[in-house]
Structure 1
Amino acid sequence: MPRKRRRIIQRKFKEGSIKIEGSVLIGRHCQIGDVTYIEESNIDNFTIIGEGVKIIRSAIMDRNFIGDYAYIENSVIARHVELRSTKDKPVKVINSVIADDVIIGEGSEIINSKVYPHKVINAGSKLHETILT
């Protein structure tokens, strides 16, 4: 099974349906949706990335779900995080650290912030320069 997923990612890259630039590490058993862009980032094992996602200079640890059209830049997303991003209401995480077991609702924006473990961020929330403990 892991080889099948690896081959799917390789095929998507060769066909141009996903774009990867710079040093990128993609772990085992990952799934990456079409029209996704990854630059200078680490995607750890068992992570599911939806369509149209942009990940730039970030670390995505294992067992995460990144919904469609999420935008992540200069950030760390710890383990078991769920970004409930959609095409109509994308989630943005910029210059932030999201700890383990966090759920981020659709349309949320987290900029220059830290979110501690086991938190739920309601849909449409705007966290700027915030430490959520």
Structure 2
Amino acid sequence: MYERKILPNLNCGLDLIGEVLYGKWKIRLLWFINEGYLRPSELQRKIPDATRRVLNIQLKELEEHELITRKIYPVVPPKVEYSLTELGKTLIPVISALGNWGDKNEEHLRSVILKRLNSENK
């Protein structure tokens, strides 16, 4: 497993948010758990581009940062469900605001992203 050689800079709120939410799928995971998709298989269906391994790693990190909780039901086969903690619920309005900003600037953002990708592939 990856071990950090340099400690993260945690001097301001932006550094802290970056540390907690860094990961391609974490914001989506929080959003979908808030919408009621609680089981790992449901989350995998909502994010088909992510591998199960990566989703499990990012779910574990969200749990370690106390944004979600995992409940394991004592049945065979084991049943696992995730839910937002009170702290995790406070992120939903922030994620919603970011999504709204992305929607309002969708055309421009798509254009600059595609331009960058096209220049990299030449």
Instruction: Please classify the TM superposition score into its range, dividing by the shorter chain length.
Output: under 0.3
Select the structure with the greater relative contact order (CA < 8 A; seq sep ≥ 6).
2
**TM-score normalised by structure 1 residue count:** 0.23
Q: Which has the higher helix share?
A: 2
Q: Which has the higher strand share?
A: 1
**TM-score normalised by structure 2 residue count:** 0.24
